Amino acid sequence: MTRMTADILQLTDLHLMADPNAVLRDVCTRQSLIDVLQLAKTHSQTESLDFDYVLITGDLTHDERFESYEVLRELLGDWLPRCRLIPGNHDDRALIRQVFPDLVPTDGELINFSVESAGWRLIGLDSHVDGEVFGRIGESQLRWMADELTKHAAQPTILFVHHPPVSVESAWLDRIGLQDADALLDIVRSFPQVHSISAGHVHQEFAVTIDRVEIVTTPSTGVQFRPREDEMVCDTMPPGFRIFHLADSDYTTQVIRLPDPTE
């Protein structure tokens, strides 16, 4: 039997702005994203990877402007058809639909996805709450997720969401986390095919295992936050991305970062 494998690229917290030179916490987020995309392309060539999907897990923009989403569409280039998007707290669903009608649902309130890759199920959840920094999945979307997991019970699954459903041991980030995390995790416990949940929002790498499910967060393509701080402190760690390698019913994942300019 042919062994099926696939590689998935996760990008998160891009915080793009219409001004190409705009800086967020001393980082030019557009240039940083350009550098990260180039690194991802170089890495894929060096390691002979062909990303099946490029998943962007929220905070596509910082200023929530039409022009910023257009810039992202242009920067994604040849990868655009394989992209899937979910919004973060800094996003505007209406503008995402305007600029990416070929990638996201054009009807309904939420922007989520459920796709298959190498026998795996990848489910993206919309945790955006209008006017708020914290996140929420909501009862209707939790039911949708449970239906997807029921329909695809034979497929090992990874969930993607902007707000992590666990504490990341930073008081200020935990205050703006996922409000209905317990409801999400209660459903996940009923579906043993869920192997992992991958999130953004916290601008750092973090990992914890709860009831056999590995929950990870992925660094921003721009600004980084220092782990385990009670208040916001920016980190000097370089920006990066996460790769999932899917093989049969197992997977590996790793974070790749830009070179550290201080080394």
Give pLDDT tens digits for 20-51: 999 999 999 999 999 999 999 999 999 988 99
Q: Which H or E run contains 72?
A: helix 66-76
CB burial of 37-63 (b: ≥16 within 10 Å; e: otherwise) equals: bebbbeebeeeebebbbbbbbbbbbbe
DSSP class of residue 197 equals: E
Ordered structural domains, the chain, with CATH: 5-257 (3.60.21.10)
Task: Please give the helix or strand (H or E) that residue 143 lies within, else none.
Answer: helix 139-151
Average pLDDT, the chain: 96
Residue 260 pLDDT level (bands cut at 50, 70, 90): confident
* pTM listed for this prediction: 0.96
